């Protein structure tokens, strides 16, 4: 019996001539979604994927001769996504140690948010298939980031590839155990990753603010405008300034889920919890704030939390310089995001 879940799909029009690669991409995307739910490569079937896309099984076989070939393509897609997320996380910070830390944390967060896919990537029959060069790319990137730390003097000299292998084994093992034994008294993911980086790579331990000072925020962009919230003059922290919507991450809550919750509570809109790294990270002596760019949501933003904000508004680039903003780096960040939109 076909155990793969049925994915409802609207009737699908055939691809026009020359769009065969688009169909292949859609097939892989459907397989990724199913594998995330199934967490088992052998439970996937090409017929189930065909049903999910409202195409004939023959159309799938044109691109993938068997299930293993499709699973390998899905695994490569996941590795590519993780590489992109890790690279984007590195770009949000500016020292070798912080870049390595951001890379490993971003990869670990992706795994925590996609446990089914991670099991397929590292525990499935397909994951033992020889000849998967895309796996070597991630290892090479990690080794290069470790070597950068050694060159900068923030990690002791050693063979960077050997250290990267040690780190890879520790992180993959830890994430697999977290997925398979979630009821164990696990420490926060970031803390455990940092301990690996300290013990295996030799980075100095990172001093983080208290748990209550972890902040998530959203930079909502609508064309050439960004949305800001005016903090009421009576607020204890950052009164009478324009700020981004967002708030504290609750204990045990994932940052992406916290952001979705805060936007629902403050603006009455719905978003998909982001799985990638933040656009920017702001650190002070009292908080760590991670900012995500949000361009898609459901509903219309309203001031749903008047006790926190006395106004909300959309602002174009030429109006931002007249505002009193909550953080010094906001103006440059907002201007860049709007300039990127125009480019």
Strand 214-222 and strand 246-248: the pairing is: antiparallel
Query: Residue 284's pLDDT is what?
Result: 65
Query: Torsions phi, psi of 54, nearest 5?
Result: 55, 45
HEC string of 74-96 equals: HHHHHHHHHHHHHHHHHHCCCCH
pLDDT above 90 coverage of the chain, percent:
58
Rounded to whole angstroms, the Cα distance separating 221 from 295 reads 5
For the question of whether the overall pTM of this predicted structure is more than 0.85, the answer is no
Tens of pLDDT, residues 228-261: 999 988 887 788 999 999 998 887 778 888 999 9
Q: Which residue's structure tokens are 């603010």?
A: 209
C-alpha to C-alpha distances, 326 to 140, 241, 242, 323, nearest whole angstrom: 40, 5, 6, 9
The larger pLDDT score, comparing residue 254 to residue 5, is at 254
Identity of the highest mean pLDDT range in 210-214, 263-267, 336-340: 263-267
Closest CA to 110 of 133, 148, 77: 77
Q: Using 50, 70 and 90 to split pLDDT, how confident is the model at 110?
A: confident
Rounded to whole angstroms, the Cα distance separating 120 from 142 reads 21
Q: Taking 50 as the threshold, does the pLDDT of residue 296 lie above it?
A: yes
Q: Taking 70 as the threshold, does the pLDDT of residue 6 lie above it?
A: no
Q: Give the pLDDT mean for 115-120.
A: 93
Tens of pLDDT, residues 151-207: 999 999 999 999 999 999 999 999 999 999 989 998 888 889 999 999 999 999 875
Query: Residue 249's pLDDT is what?
Result: 86
Which domains does the chain carry?
1-205 (1.10.357.10), 211-342 (3.90.79.10)
Contact 288, 255 (CB under 8 A): no
Closest CA to 72 of 127, 25, 140: 127
Query: Residue 142's pLDDT is what?
Result: 96
């Amino acid at each position: 019996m076909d155990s793969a879940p049925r994915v409802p799909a609207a009737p699908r029009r055939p691809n026009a001539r020359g769009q065969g690669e688009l169909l292949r991409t859609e097939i892989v995307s459907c397989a990724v979604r199913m594998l995330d739910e199934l967490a088992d490569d052998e439970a996937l079937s090409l017929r189930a994927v065909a049903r999910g896309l409202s195409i004939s099984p023959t159309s799938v076989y044109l691109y993938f001769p068997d299930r293993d070939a499709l699973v390998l393509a899905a695994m490569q897609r996941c590795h590519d996504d993780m590489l992109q997320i890790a690279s984007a996380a590195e770009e949000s910070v500016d020292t070798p140690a912080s870049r390595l830390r951001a890379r490993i944390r971003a990869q670990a967060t992706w795994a925590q948010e996609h446990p089914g896919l991670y099991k397929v990537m590292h525990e499935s029959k397909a994951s033992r298939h020889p000849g998967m060069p895309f796996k070597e790319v991630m290892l090479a990137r990690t080794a290069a980031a470790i070597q950068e730390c050694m060159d900068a003097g923030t990690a002791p000299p050693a063979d960077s590839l050997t250290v990267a292998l040690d780190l890879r084994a520790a992180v993959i093992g830890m994430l697999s155990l977290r997925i398979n034994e979630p009821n164990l008294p696990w420490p926060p993911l970031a803390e455990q990753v940092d301990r690996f980086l300290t013990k295996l790579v030799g980075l100095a331990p990172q001093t983080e603010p208290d748990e209550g000072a972890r902040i998530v925020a959203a930079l909502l962009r609508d064309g050439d405008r960004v949305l800001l919230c005016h903090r009421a003059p009576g607020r204890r922290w950052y009164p009478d300034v324009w700020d981004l919507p967002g708030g504290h991450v609750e204990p045990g809550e994932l940052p992406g889920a916290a952001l979705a919750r805060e936007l629902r509570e403050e603006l009455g809109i719905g978003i998909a919890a982001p799985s990638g790294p933040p656009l920017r990270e702001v650190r002070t002596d009292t908080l760590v704030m991670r900012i995500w760019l949000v361009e898609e949501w459901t509903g219309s933003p309203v001031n749903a939390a008047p006790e926190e904000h006395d106004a909300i508004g959309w602002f174009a680039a030429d109006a931002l310089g007249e505002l009193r903003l909550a953080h010094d780096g906001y103006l440059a960040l907002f201007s860049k995001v709007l300039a990127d939109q125009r480019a």
